[in-house]
Amino acid sequence: MTAERYNARESEPRWQRLWDEKAIFASRNDDPRPKYYVLEMFPYPSGRIHIGHVRNYTLGDVLARFMRAKGHNVLHPMGWDAFGLPAENAAIERKVAPKAWTYDNIAAMKKQLRSIGLSLDWSREFATCDPSYYKHQQKMFLDMLAAGLAEREKRKLNWDPVDMTVLANEQVIDGRGWRSGAVVEQREMSQWVFKITKYSQELLEALDGLDRWPDKVRLMQRNWIGRSEGLLIRFALDAATTPAGESELKIFTTRPDTLFGAKFMAISADHPLAQAAAAKNPKLAEFIADIKKIGTAQSIIDTAEKQGFDTGIKAVHPFDPNWKLPVYVANFVLMEYGTGAIFGCPAHDQRDLDFVNKYDLGNVPVVCPEGQDPKTFVITDVAYDGDGRMINSRFLDGMTIEAAKEEVAKRLETELRALPGQGRLAPVGERQVNFRLRDWGISRQRYWGCPIPVIHCPTCDVVPVPDDQLPVTLPEDVSFDKPGNALDHHPTWKHVTCPKCGGKAVRETDTMDTFVDSSWYFARFTDPWNETAPTTPAVANRMMPVDQYIGGVEHAILHLLYSRFFTRAMKATGHVDMSEPFAGMFTQGMVVHETYQKADGSWVTPAEVKIEVAGNGRRAVLMATGEDVEIGPIEKMSKSKKNTVDPDDIIASYGADVARWFMLSDSPPDRDVIWSDERVQGASRFVQRLWRLVNESAEIAKIAGNKAAPAARPETFGPEALALRKAAHGALDKVSSGIERLHFNVCLAHIREFANALSEVLAKGDKPAPDLAWAVKEAATILVQLFSPMMPHLAEECWVVLGQTGLVSEADWPQIERDLLVEDSVTLVVQVNGKKRGDVTVPRAAQNADIEAAVLALDAVKAALGGKPVRKVIVVPMRIVNVVG
């Protein structure tokens, strides 16, 4: 029989409708089977699905479908990360309401997502901008406020003067706003923070337990949290030099061992001592104003040229009252870290070295690397931060760095000095652990976000909005004519009466950082129907944590860290009972594509060019005009370089299954995958091949009975049938374990190989004996099930052809017959006097005597022995046979 071509365009929507009607992907919370929670990072409703989404969701879908077939109650939900700036920008540019824009986009993208054939539980869908979602977020904010996990704090913030909003440090790129590109300014403002630092140590330690997270992500989180152990040291100040009688300067150092290499002190421009000195020194005030312009983002500080201003103040070395150090205001010292003041040891810190080299302060090395002569060891342009022994350091000389740190700490801990302005004595040095992690500032001066549910009353100060007045909903009659926060400009919304005293009061007009919205949506998915509470703890505790979370590595730090914190905060306030939200984390690679550029430098899309292969070169031609275009480097798909492919086009031309199969083939899922039309066509041909193969198998399978009268399983199988059965169960074994490990590209290779094995059997064309017919039927059934997680529509269609009942999407995963996996022969390396001479294949169960006989019969062995007698034959089971002559 010649099967017609498989028609994805006709088939795919039909199966999608059927899955929907039967709601087979809906997960029930009272399902008694073991749960498995698969989640891909939910999308921002920008308006269109991009190819990266297709990859992300396909990866999760394969796992979800597989785990469902393996008998789990799979939770695989989808929703929308729907608050954020683009909706407001659309409102400004196109005069559409943010809400309408967002929900329209959601509708469009949902349709696109459906066309991919994902096994999603749409009954749990929500958008974070639904008041029925953010209502609970407001409730949790208030719970956190009551628990001391949310606070108001005065902060220096990055202010984007164009977008009129506060930016997080990571939203400042090279001193400019990440969206607007405007030069960012520093402003002091009151804002709401979540006290993530209360969990610094715990968030750090718990990383060790996240053994199904990529190491690189755990390392990035570790560095972000940035724990360091060091010493706080109170340097005395020379009173004659201080602006207002200040008597000491407290610094934090992780290298107290280097104290005898100190050459200067440096303080932040925001340090009170700097402020006091500036009040008396206009030049210093000017310098401070200057360096403050560059902003406090770490990246800026790290790259900016080191600059300092000598205040004239002198500090006294803690181990030598006659040793005075100049105090500089410097642009590389942050007020937010440690004490905002340091001592500089140029020989062993690159920043300090750059600094002294600029201001001619010199350096003294105090750590000498092993094998170097301390007398000749000098530092010029490169600081030495490695290991070694102490030199030039009086009582520390000869010690290791560790021993010297300990010695300095001990001495300064036991030395007492009066605290400034008090008679009380206190140690000069104190051990301290510092973290880089800062509290999470969540206030955004934006309309399209979750309103922070508090009221500011002139009498009662900050008053929480009472529970029965939640949610505080966003007004819809807003205008974006003026820059700034539309909530603030609204004529009536913010004016309320104080819930406490009944007086006139105003609402908080800041909304929450959208990272808050995405810090608990995974918990909400466990029971999105609960109207009275964010979660139903009994349900959340059963369905959480997410067993496999999948998303881009760009979220490796903030989103994941915030979610880990928020889950702890939800635990502290009684909404869940676990600390870690994601037991398994997987970061997928990007989809990349060649770029194409016209002679005038403008970019053109892949859809506009035709690739011509000539010899071993390729050239690209613009189809519309026939002109040559330059083939540029392969890069991440982006709108600006136009090297994107539209998922809709791909699905319309090839079908979702082809797109899915292509995404999974070739590259491991954590690496980038290069989009290539040629290879997409290859995937398309493979779909047709599978279709023919299954149809041909179905014909043969008829010999093995039909649905009404299935043939009994043969008692015994001939060699051909047995070989096919081994191939089938071997593939089943490898694909099953490959999916569990998300090695999808490897799974696809095994499926291809197995399809080839089945093809070869069919190609013989003889009418097969009943045992082989039975094996063909089994093989075709297993084949369809193996590719069903990747190409679910084709699989459903094939399932019908094979005469199976029900849906393959609902079928149990096939049982592996383990005894078919045992290889019955082994190949051993044959050596003569230790040198490899060939190999020998023997039955697995062969006795040593049989192996010896087989080896000695080999021509290569006879030749190598050259007639000499055999003294001994050593058999290393399953591996090597060595003949000693």
By CB under 5 A, name the binding residues for Zn ion: 457, 459-460, 498, 500-501
Is 337 a binding residue for ligand ANZ by CB under 6 A? The answer is yes
62, 664 Cβ separation under 8 angstroms: yes
The tokens describing 349, both together, are 């810190």
- Closer to Zn ion at the Cβ: 457 or 478? 457
Q: How far is the CB of 341 from ligand ANZ (least distance, A)?
A: 7
Identify the residue among 338, 453, 669, 792 touching ligand ANZ (CB under 6 A). 338
Distances (CA, A) of 401 to 365, 397, 407: 13, 10, 10
Identify the residue among 16, 73, 200, 253 touching ligand ANZ (CB under 6 A). 253
Q: How far is the CB of 228 from ligand ANZ (least distance, A)?
A: 3
Sheet holding 440-441, edge to edge: 165-167, 150-160, 185-194, 440-441
Is 345 a binding residue for ligand ANZ by CB under 6 A? The answer is yes
The tokens describing 681, both together, are 């066509």
Catalogue the E-assigned strands of 539-660: 548-552, 585-588, 591-597, 603-604, 609-614, 617-622, 628-636
Residues 6 or more apart whose CB falls under 8 angstroms from that of 541 comprise 576, 577, 578
Is 299 a binding residue for ligand ANZ by CB under 6 A? The answer is no
Partner touching 254 among Zn ion, ligand ANZ, none, CB below 5 to 8 Å by kind = ligand ANZ
Neighbours of 148 (CB within 10 A): 10
Q: How far is the CB of 337 from ligand ANZ (least distance, A)?
A: 4
Nearest CA among 96, 106, 99 for reference residue 48: 106
Of 4-12, 120-128, 337-345, 445-453, which part binds ligand ANZ (CB under 6 A)? 337-345
Q: At what angle do helices 792-801 and 8-22 cross, to 10 degrees?
A: 90
- Closer to ligand ANZ at the Cβ: 313 or 830? 313
Partner touching 258 among Zn ion, ligand ANZ, none, CB below 5 to 8 Å by kind = ligand ANZ
- Closer to ligand ANZ at the Cβ: 340 or 738? 340
Partner touching 342 among Zn ion, ligand ANZ, none, CB below 5 to 8 Å by kind = ligand ANZ
Identify the residue among 228, 299, 676, 681 touching ligand ANZ (CB under 6 A). 228
Q: Which amino acid belongs to residue 436?
A: R
**Would you give the binding string for ligand ANZ spanning residues 432-471, x where CB under 6 A is met?**
--x-------------------------------------
Identify the residue among 84, 340, 545, 581 touching ligand ANZ (CB under 6 A). 340
- Closer to Zn ion at the Cβ: 461 or 612? 461
The number of residues that bind ligand ANZ (CB under 6 A) is: 18
Name the DSSP letter for residue 128.
T
Catalogue the E-assigned strands of 459-597: 461-464, 495-497, 504-507, 511-512, 548-552, 585-588, 591-597
Q: How far is the CB of 290 from ligand ANZ (least distance, A)?
A: 18
**Would you give the binding string for ligand ANZ spanning residues 348-377, x where CB under 6 A is met?**
xx----------------------------
Question: Dihedral of CA 195/199/203/209: which sign?
Answer: negative
Degrees (nearest 5) of the Cα angle 540, 542, 548?
85
Q: Which amino acid belongs to residue 379?
A: I
Q: Cα(755)–Cα(757) distance, rounded to whole angstroms? A: 5
The b/e string for 545-565 (b: 16+ C-beta within 10 A; e otherwise) is: bbbbbbbbbebbbbbbbbbbb
Neighbours of 32 (CB within 10 A): 7
The tokens describing 771, both together, are 């045992």
**Would you give the binding string for ligand ANZ spanning residues 387-426, x where CB under 6 A is met?**
----------------------------------------
- Closer to ligand ANZ at the Cβ: 340 or 451? 340
Q: How far is the CB of 307 from ligand ANZ (least distance, A)?
A: 14
- Closer to ligand ANZ at the Cβ: 386 or 877? 386
- Closer to ligand ANZ at the Cβ: 372 or 434? 434
Partner touching 340 among ligand ANZ, Zn ion, none, CB below 5 to 8 Å by kind = ligand ANZ
Of 252-260, 292-300, 314-322, 703-711, which part binds ligand ANZ (CB under 6 A)? 252-260
Is 745 a binding residue for ligand ANZ by CB under 6 A? The answer is no
Residue 520 Cα to chain centre, angstroms? 16
Identify the residue among 145, 225, 278, 333 touching ligand ANZ (CB under 6 A). 333
Q: What is the largest CA-CA distance in the chain?
A: 113
- Closer to Zn ion at the Cβ: 31 or 461? 461
Long-range contacts, stretch 294-297, CB < 8 angstroms, 24+ apart = 294/175, 294/331, 295/158, 295/172, 295/175, 295/184, 295/185, 295/186, 296/156, 296/158, 296/169, 296/186, 296/334, 296/336, 297/158, 297/169, 297/170, 297/172, 297/175, 297/184
Q: Cα(634)–Cα(640) distance, rounded to whole angstroms? A: 14
Partner touching 425 among Zn ion, ligand ANZ, none, CB below 5 to 8 Å by kind = none
Of 117-125, 248-256, 679-687, 831-839, which part binds ligand ANZ (CB under 6 A)? 248-256
Is 343 a binding residue for ligand ANZ by CB under 6 A? The answer is yes
Q: Is 387 exposed, middle or buried (0-12, 13-18, 19+ CB in 10 A)?
A: exposed
* Residue whose entry in the numeric block shows the structure tokens 């309401």: 97
Question: Dihedral of CA 255/259/262/265: which sign?
Answer: positive
Q: How far is the CB of 364 from ligand ANZ (least distance, A)?
A: 12
Partner touching 253 among ligand ANZ, Zn ion, none, CB below 5 to 8 Å by kind = ligand ANZ
Nearest CA among 361, 299, 305 for reference residue 328: 361
The tokens describing 399, both together, are 């010690």
Q: How far is the CB of 22 from ligand ANZ (least distance, A)?
A: 57
Partner touching 604 among Zn ion, ligand ANZ, none, CB below 5 to 8 Å by kind = none
Phi, psi values for residue 592, rounded to 5°: -120, 160
Question: Dihedral of CA 350/353/355/357: which sign?
Answer: negative
Partner touching 497 among Zn ion, ligand ANZ, none, CB below 5 to 8 Å by kind = none
Partner touching 434 among ligand ANZ, Zn ion, none, CB below 5 to 8 Å by kind = ligand ANZ
Q: How far is the CB of 195 from ligand ANZ (least distance, A)?
A: 21
Of residues 313-332, which lie at the interface with ligand ANZ (CB under 6 A)?
A: 332
Is 309 a binding residue for ligand ANZ by CB under 6 A? The answer is no
Is 252 a binding residue for ligand ANZ by CB under 6 A? The answer is yes
289, 351 Cβ separation under 8 angstroms: no
Nearest CA among 442, 567, 453, 438 for reference residue 514: 442
Q: Which amino acid belongs to residue 878?
A: M
Q: How far is the CB of 225 from ligand ANZ (least distance, A)?
A: 11
- Closer to ligand ANZ at the Cβ: 186 or 434? 434
- Closer to ligand ANZ at the Cβ: 252 or 448? 252
Q: How far is the CB of 490 from Zn ion (least distance, A)?
A: 21
Partner touching 345 among ligand ANZ, Zn ion, none, CB below 5 to 8 Å by kind = ligand ANZ
Of 181-189, 338-346, 604-612, 771-779, which part binds ligand ANZ (CB under 6 A)? 338-346
**H or E segment and range at residue 276:** helix 272-279
Of 158-166, 334-342, 462-470, 806-814, which part binds ligand ANZ (CB under 6 A)? 334-342
Identify the residue among 284, 342, 664, 828 touching ligand ANZ (CB under 6 A). 342
Is 254 a binding residue for ligand ANZ by CB under 6 A? The answer is yes
Name the DSSP letter for residue 261.
G
Is 294 a binding residue for ligand ANZ by CB under 6 A? The answer is no
Q: Is 215 exposed, middle or buried (0-12, 13-18, 19+ CB in 10 A)?
A: exposed
Rule CB under 6 A: which residues touch ligand ANZ? 228, 252-255, 258, 332-334, 337-338, 340, 342-343, 345, 348-349, 434
